[in-house]
Structure 1
Amino acid sequence: MLNALKTTLLHWKRQVVINRERWTIKKQSEFFEVLADLLDAGFSLKQALTTTTRLFSTGKLDIQKIEAELSHGEAFSTGIKPYISKSSYYQIMISEKYGGLNKSINQLGKLMAVRVKQKKQLKQLLQYPIILMGLLIVLYIGIQQFILPEINYSQLGTTSNSGIKVIIVKSIIGLFSSLLIGYGIKIIIRVSRQTTMNRHVWYCQIPVVGKIYKDYCHYYLTFNLGLLLSSGLNLNKICDYLNQFDQESLLYQLGRQLTQHFEKGGNTKQMIDKNPLFPKELTIFLEKGNTLEVMSQELLIFSELTYRKFESSVEKMMVYVQPIAFIIVAACIVGLYLAILLPMYQTMEEIK
């Protein structure tokens, strides 16, 4: 258990070091949106990057490094890799190699803009509940330090039953809290030791947010699959291509699983049905018998619709954030009242 916890902490430490170089979501959003607009206006990628360096005061050196990589014959995806997430990197790499780079950058810009908007909205929704929670914590500390000691002192000359009850209640709460924390640590360790694909599958199974995360996975996979099919690659060649990716990436692990499944004589439908990361509709697209070009167009349209569904689901979830936060605050207020009134009530009963 201790070794597993140490391994998890080391993994997180490495992730923190990697993330220090990565751009913020807001910065990525601004960069991709501006770059997409310039590419749509007819600029070449190099011209668009040069113009972008003039428009951005922060991150100028990073963009110049990407320009330098391009000048030395490196791919755009290679240059931008340190500054974006692994999933975004592979999306750009696929589109750069097989076509649709403008569309891919445009999609990333929209996705990042939505995330920035959601983050801002979440901050606004939670601002008042967090202030209330802070006041409650101060009030709780005040009660623990000043009011409860006075009540306990007044109970010294009375029966010790109430004191015993308080000790029992505190012991139960302490035990429950310890079990909850221990279970939480166990889940974190277990999830961190899973493969990337199993981790994503687990995310999809989390109540409430799991469905939203699943919509995002469906968008991400169908968009990339659509780009690969548009280049003329069939499923077997796509699997071979994905097997060249980083072994920790989701696309590599999905490609590896598909390859092993086909080698055992399995069909596509079985694979899609048992893996929640694939949308069930994918079976229909793959079994219609259309050409790769038509299939890719259908998948790209489907990915756009899935993305809109993802956006809509997030907006609906945001509506419930503040009410849930207020319910938690209300429960804490009730708990504080009970913490004050119950000992006082017990004292009054004993005095009688």
Structure 2
Amino acid sequence: MLQRLRNIKNSSFYANKSMKVHQLPSFLNRISTLLNEGYTFSDSIDMLLPYHVDDPAAWRKIILEKLKNGEGSTEILECFLIPKHFLVAIKISEESGKLAQSLQTISKQMDFNEKMRKKLINLLSYPIFLSIFLVSIFLAFRTYFLPNITQILNTRTDATNNATVFISSIFLHLPDIFCLILVSTILLLTTFIIYIKKQHVQKQLSIMLKIPIINYFYKLNITNQLARTLGELLIVGFSLQQALTILQDQQLNKILAYVSEKIETQVIFGESLSTAVHNLGWFSAKFDEFIKHGEKSGYLGRQLLIYSELIEEKLQFFIKKGVSIVQPIFFIIIALSIIAAYLSILLPMYELIEII
């Protein structure tokens, strides 16, 4: 009951707009800088709060409460609504003693995501405005132009000439078709995401790995998370089994915990990490070969971190490409709508000219 009341209290706390954290990537980067200079984690946050929140006193109160309860940096940073996949990296960095480096890396990734989000908004602002303007024109044509031209044609021709009006009506309903496709796609994706989240981790993996194209990026994501977290633990001296146990115990990323459990099952029976990864088949191509090279050289942890950096660069490249493609797609749709608008006007006019 006490925990439930605390959750209600915290939810109302975060719902307050005055508790919003400004420039979160910069906040994490500055914490990293202070940690490298020798400040403690609590002192670093206390120093930076006035520059990133509107009500530092309220934040200090809740952070102090968490410190009194013995909670670590992961639980404290969770208050700032950091995504869970970043919290996993923070949790692992607590174990490895590289919190400052982890926060710096996370701040760069969050800054990149924020820049891509702003870029996407800027790219879509003009097409969306133009789309609203075009929809208004289409509604005006359908409300005033088409009924009037239909009445004129009906008074001068027989019913067999109504095909032109019918075609014009179809063209004028083209935006409706595009909107219907867009709304249907969003609803299907939302339903699919909700369905996936309700499934067991094993079922999630089974479904996602069977979907073309999506399975490629899903494998990249799993590989990136495993390589980064496992590499950080190995490089500071944890054994492979110890590192896998730590990844299983964390509850922030259940997929990573499940994958680590399956890998450890094979490792316990004498399989190498590269062989276990190859047998599972849940990871990006040649990941097992990269691990095998690290096992032979004795620098497995470092090799995993290098591979994680390579995958991170690849994922960022795909994100940039995806964002850059969105605007041309919108303009193509707008161009088709403009052509449809012209045809919806010209076809009845040509018909009327022929009659006259």
- Regarding TM over 0.5, the answer is yes
Which ranges of structure 2 fall in alignment gaps of 5 or more residues? 1-10
Segment drifting more, 335-344 vs 290-299: 290-299
1:117 to 2:115 alignment: yes
Which residue number corresponds to residue 223 of structure 1? Answer: 228
Whether contact under 8 Å (1:25, 1:115) holds in the other structure is no
2:76 to 53, 75, 79: 79
Structure 2 counterpart of 1:343, from 338, 343, 348: 348
Give the 3 Å change call, closer, same or farther, for CA 291–68 of structure 1 in structure 2: farther
Residues 1:268 and 1:302: Cα distance change in structure 2 (over 3 Å): closer
- Cα distance, 1:162–1:273 mapped onto 2, change above 3 Å: farther
2:295 counterpart residue number: 290
| 3-state SS in 2 of match to 1:156 | helix
Aligned residue pairs, count: 335
Larger displacement relative to structure 2 (123-132 or 306-315): 306-315
Q: Is this contact kept in 1: 2:20–2:53, CA < 8 A? A: no
After TM superposition, the score normalised by the length of structure 2 is: 0.75
Q: Which moved more, 1:16-25 or 1:140-149?
A: 16-25
Q: Sequence identity of aligned pairs in percent?
A: 24
Q: For each residue in 1:243-291, what CA deviation from the matched residue of structure 2 results, as whole angstroms up to 9, or x when unmatched?
A: 3333873312323443566689987557645878633343134323638
* Matching residue of 1:45: 41
Question: Cα gap change, 1:336/1:289 in structure 2, threshold over 3 Å: closer, same or farther?
Answer: closer
Question: 1:230, 1:292 within 8 Å by CA — same for their partners in 2?
Answer: no
Q: CA deviation at 1:79?
A: 2.0
Q: How far, CA to CA, are the matches of 1:167 and 1:75 in structure 2?
A: 68
- More deviation in 163-172 or 317-326? 163-172
Question: Which residue matches 1:280?
Answer: 285
More displaced stretch, 333-342 vs 134-143: 333-342
Does 1:133 find its partner at 2:135? no
8 Å CA contact 1:229, 1:292 repeated in 2: no
Farther off after superposition, 166-175 or 269-278: 166-175
Task: Letter of the 1:94 partner, please give it.
Answer: I
Alignment match, 1:250: 255
- Mind listing any 5+ residue stretches in structure 1 that lack a counterpart? 1-15
How far the C-alpha of 1:56 sits from its partner, in A, is: 2.2
Distance 1:307 1:59, change over 3 A: farther
> What is the rounded CA distance, in whole Å, between the counterparts of 1:264 and 1:18 in structure 2?
49
- Shift in Å at residue 24 of structure 1? 7.5
Relative to the length of structure 1, the TM-score reads 0.76
> SS in structure 2 opposite 1:241?
helix
8 Å contact from structure 2 (residues 84, 253) kept in 1:
no
Give RMSD over aligned pairs.
4.2
| Paired residues of 2:225 and 2:308 also in contact (CA < 8 A) | yes
Relative to structure 1, the CA distance from residue 263 to residue 154 in structure 2 (aligned partners, 3 Å threshold; closer, same or farther) is farther
Residue 29 of structure 2 corresponds to 33
**2:86 pairs with 1:88:** yes
- Find the counterpart in structure 2 of residue 159 from structure 1: 158
Cα offset for 1:108? 0.8
3-state SS of 2:249 partner? coil
Instruction: Tell me which residue corresponds to 2:97.
Output: 99
Q: How far apart, in 1, do the equivalents of 2:262 and 2:104 lie?
A: 30
Q: Find out whether 1:189 has 2:191 as its counterpart.
A: yes
Residue 329 of structure 1: aligned partner: 334
